[in-house]
């Protein structure tokens, strides 16, 4: 199990940046940085993450002992833990989905985001330093976003305290993280698929190597890649991309 050490701040530039600073100072895996607000919150693909008071922003320092080729699975594992945490509070998984690779949607609107940053060049027998950053909209969602956004208090009948939600997330994540490192992503694949957004529907992926791929979202692979069956029946495995799903 991860030995967590939690540090709370009123405001930070970015919890991911702070966890990186802690890593540079030699902190062990399990350091957690939580901020009530961020002034330079970062999102995926170079976007910013608007971070006013009232939502949850945190990052965990991880040093997984895995090979580089499976590192991208960490964000899928983090997404499963987030979906399961919301399910825990709702009592069922209705309306909770994961948009591949790891956006958490509530009734098709984004409610949380996950950003994994890594220090591949610093990897050692101690593991690969990774900064797992998570933003959960509790009380407000930004208006002008690429995708429609929502927050937990528009979705859950009883909204938990932010600290309580964080504790629950950390417990769930720790056990999934251990399973992933010991047994690999293939044993967690069905847990991800339980929440898969748009499964069986037509999706378009703008993938690096493959270009534009449109077809039916069939499943994910044991490695976490997105399987899209195109019009001529060819199965394309997408490992990283921006994917457009129907709403």
Q: Which two tokens stand for residue 44?
A: 């995926």
| 142 near ligand BTN, rule: CB under 6 A | no
> In Å, what is the CA distance from 95 to each residue of 90, 147, 155, 156, 190?
10, 16, 9, 10, 18
Residue number of the CB closest to ligand BTN reads 113
Within the chain, what is the greatest distance between any pair of CA atoms? 54
Closer CB to ligand BTN, residue 35 or residue 215? 35
Closer CB to ligand BTN, residue 44 or residue 87? 44
Closer CB to ligand BTN, residue 42 or residue 197? 42
Closer CB to ligand BTN, residue 14 or residue 97? 14
Q: Is 126 exposed, middle or buried (0-12, 13-18, 19+ CB in 10 A)?
A: exposed
Closest listed residue to residue 212, CA positions, set 220, 202, 204 = 204
# residues near ligand BTN by CB under 6 A: 20
Interface residue with ligand BTN among 50, 62, 98, 114 (CB under 6 A) is 114
Closest listed residue to residue 134, CA positions, set 77, 189, 95, 87 = 77
| 188 near ligand BTN, rule: CB under 6 A | no
CB 242 within 8 A of CB 45: yes
- Binding to ligand BTN (CB under 6 A) within 37-66 occurs at 38, 41-44, 47, 49, 57-59
Task: State the minimum distance, in angstroms, from the CB of residue 207 to ligand BTN.
Answer: 18
SS3 assignment, position 174: helix
Q: Could you list the beta-strand ranges (E) of the chain.
A: 5-12, 31-38, 56-62, 96-99, 103-106, 109-118, 130-136, 202-207, 211-220, 226-230, 235-238, 241-244
Closer CB to ligand BTN, residue 44 or residue 107? 44
Sheet with 211-220: list strands edge to edge.
235-238, 226-230, 211-220, 202-207, 241-244
Task: State the minimum distance, in angstroms, from the CB of residue 57 to ligand BTN.
Answer: 4
| 135 near ligand BTN, rule: CB under 6 A | yes
**Where would I find the H helices in 62-203?**
73-90, 162-183, 189-193
Closer CB to ligand BTN, residue 163 or residue 222? 163
Interacting span for ligand BTN (CB under 6 A) from 92-100, 108-116, 174-182, 217-225? 108-116
Task: State the minimum distance, in angstroms, from the CB of residue 43 to ligand BTN.
Answer: 3
| 100 near ligand BTN, rule: CB under 6 A | no
Closer CB to ligand BTN, residue 34 or residue 228? 34
| 22 near ligand BTN, rule: CB under 6 A | no
Compute the half-sphere exposure of residue 208: CA atoms within 13 Å on the CB side of its CA.
Answer: 4
Q: Which residues bind ligand BTN (CB under 6 A)?
A: 14-16, 38, 41-44, 47, 49, 57-59, 103, 113-115, 133-135
């Amino acid at each position: 199990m991860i030995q967590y050490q939690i540090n709370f701040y009123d405001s930070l530039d970015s919890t991911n940046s702070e966890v990186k600073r802690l890593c540079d100072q030699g902190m062990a895996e399990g350091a957690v940085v939580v901020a009530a607000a961020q002034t330079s919150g970062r999102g995926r693909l170079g976007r910013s993450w608007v971070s006013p008071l009232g939502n949850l922003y945190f990052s965990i320092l991880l040093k997984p002992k895995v090979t580089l080729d499976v590192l991208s699975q960490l964000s899928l594992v983090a997404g499963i833990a987030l979906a399961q945490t919301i399910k825990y509070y709702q009592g069922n998984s209705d309306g909770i989905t994961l948009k591949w690779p790891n956006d958490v949607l509530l009734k098709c609107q984004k409610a949380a985001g996950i950003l994994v940053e890594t220090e591949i060049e610093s990897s050692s027998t101690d593991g690969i330093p990774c900064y797992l950053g998570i933003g959960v909209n509790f009380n407000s969602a930004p208006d002008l976003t690429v995708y429609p956004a929502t927050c937990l208090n528009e979705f859950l009948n009883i909204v938990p305290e932010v600290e309580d939600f964080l504790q629950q997330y950390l417990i769930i994540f720790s056990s999934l993280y251990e399973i992933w490192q010991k047994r690999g992503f293939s044993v967690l694949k069905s847990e991800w698929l339980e929440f898969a957004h748009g499964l069986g529907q037509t999706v378009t992926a703008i993938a690096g190597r493959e270009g534009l791929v449109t077809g039916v979202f069939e499943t994910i692979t044991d490695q976490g890649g997105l399987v899209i069956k195109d019009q001529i029946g060819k199965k394309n495995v997408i490992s990283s991309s921006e994917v457009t799903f129907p709403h």
